[in-house]
């Protein structure tokens, strides 16, 4: 029997903790450890985990000093997991513990990384659906590493994969990209994600946008080439236009041409700003990397040495 670590990042999920623990008890009786990463919650989350951990030493907690975000919280959990199989999942019951036995079975068959894919998510807003699918179309068109749509952060893997993930020292973490970058023997399980039972999503539109940008700039240089490409095409067009204007001038039929002028100025200005903004994103992420700040800071832990 393998030792199984479950890692659950939670940010203000007070109502979900006990129902989740109840389900874990039903579907996976012999867990080695359940590590909650309290990502700077401001509600009762920590004290609920605390009382749970008092009764059952398998329940552990890493409490971060503030909200560091889902990706960093996951990293905190993974750096502290000591099991042979590791499962990461959300703490809001949208990742059904009933799926865990199927994941473990695959790992036992020799699969290194089991990823899960949402068939459908109950209750998801049309806005989130559209923005998410646009994001995946976009990222896959520019990125060399394929990031599959609807893949969730509910995954199971062995220590070999864990050690690989821990080698990534980047500060702008985009774990979904990293998990598909590393390779290894991978299997996919599909599931229907239920609606969120308690609380509301902690991924605001702003946070999703940030994640999307992170995924873009940390997995591809192609956007930079797009800027170069558009720039060259426009320069070429401007050059041809210059020749055209010269010819027209010598033929004596020059026109007032205010419209063409303003269009050219605005178009050039726009694409320049776009390209500069893009450069700015890459420079910003260089800046983040070069500061080498810690991904998270731990305030206190329970049942962890
Ligand atoms: N989460 C976190 N830190 C954050 C945001 C979210 O630890 O800054 C946790 C959250 O508590 C949940 C998981 O990450 O357990 C997924 O978040 P959520 O369910 O809000 O995202 P959604 O399912 O809506 O994409
Ligand atoms: Mg959720």
Residue 16 three-state SS = helix
d(CA 283, CA 274): 14
* DSSP H stretches of helix in the chain: 14-27, 45-55, 70-80, 100-108, 126-142, 159-166, 175-181, 205-219, 222-251, 258-291
What's the confidence (pLDDT) of residue 259? Answer: 67
What's the confidence (pLDDT) of residue 146? Answer: 77
- Ligand 1 binding residues, C-beta < 6 A: 9-11, 13, 39, 67, 69-70, 73, 90-92, 94, 201-203
Question: In the structure, what pLDDT confidence band is assigned to residue 64 with cuts at 50, 70 and 90?
Answer: very high
In sign, the C-alpha dihedral spanning 51, 52, 57, 61 is: negative
With 0.85 as the threshold, say if the pTM is over it.
no
Across the range 243-254, mean pLDDT stands at 78
Q: Is 272 exposed, middle or buried (0-12, 13-18, 19+ CB in 10 A)?
A: middle
Q: Phi/psi of residue 87, each to 5°? A: -120, 130
Summary mean pLDDT of the chain: 87
Q: Is the pLDDT of residue 164 over 90?
A: yes
Q: Which numbered ligand comes closest to the C-alpha of 12?
A: 1
Q: Is the pLDDT of residue 300 over 90?
A: yes
Q: Which numbered ligand comes closest to the C-alpha of 152?
A: 1
Question: In the structure, what pLDDT confidence band is assigned to residue 107 with cuts at 50, 70 and 90?
Answer: very high
Atom of ligand 1 nearest to the CA of 67: 8
Q: Is 151 exposed, middle or buried (0-12, 13-18, 19+ CB in 10 A)?
A: middle
CA of 66 from ligand 2 middle (Å) equals 20
What's the confidence (pLDDT) of residue 113? Answer: 95
């Amino acid at each position: 029997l393998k030792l199984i670590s479950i890692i659950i990042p939670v940010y203000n999920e007070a109502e979900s903790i006990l129902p989740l623990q109840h389900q874990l008890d039903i579907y996976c009786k012999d867990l080695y450890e359940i590590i909650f990463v309290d990502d700077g919650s401001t509600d009762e989350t920590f004290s609920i985990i605390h009382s749970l951990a008092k009764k059952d030493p398998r329940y552990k907690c890493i409490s971060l000093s503030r909200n560091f975000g889902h990706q960093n919280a996951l990293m905190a959990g993974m750096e502290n997991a000591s099991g042979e199989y590791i499962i990461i999942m959300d703490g809001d019951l949208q990742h059904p513990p009933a799926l865990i036995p199927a994941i473990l079975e695959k790992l036992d068959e020799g699969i290194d990384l089991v990823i899960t894919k949402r068939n459908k998510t109950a209750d998801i807003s049309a806005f989130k659906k559209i923005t998410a699918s646009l994001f995946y179309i976009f990222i896959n068109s520019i990125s060399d590493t394929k990031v599959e749509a609807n893949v969730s952060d509910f995954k199971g893997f062995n220590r070999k994969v864990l050690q690989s993930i821990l080698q990534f020292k980047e500060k702008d973490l985009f774990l979904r990209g990293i998990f598909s970058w590393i390779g290894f023997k991978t299997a996919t399980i599909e599931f229907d994600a239920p609606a969120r039972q308690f609380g509301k999503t902690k991924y605001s539109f702003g946070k999703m946008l940030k994640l999307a940008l992170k995924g873009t700039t940390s997995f591809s240089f192609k956007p930079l080439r797009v800027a170069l490409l558009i720039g060259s095409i426009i320069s070429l067009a401007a050059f041809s236009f210059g020749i055209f204007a010269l010819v027209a001038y010598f033929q004596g039929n020059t026109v007032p041409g205010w419209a063409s002028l303003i269009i050219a100025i605005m178009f050039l200005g726009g694409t320049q700003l776009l390209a500069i903004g893009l450069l700015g994103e890459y420079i910003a992420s260089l800046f983040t990397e070069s500061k080498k700040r810690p991904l998270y800071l731990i305030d206190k832990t329970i049942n962890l040495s």
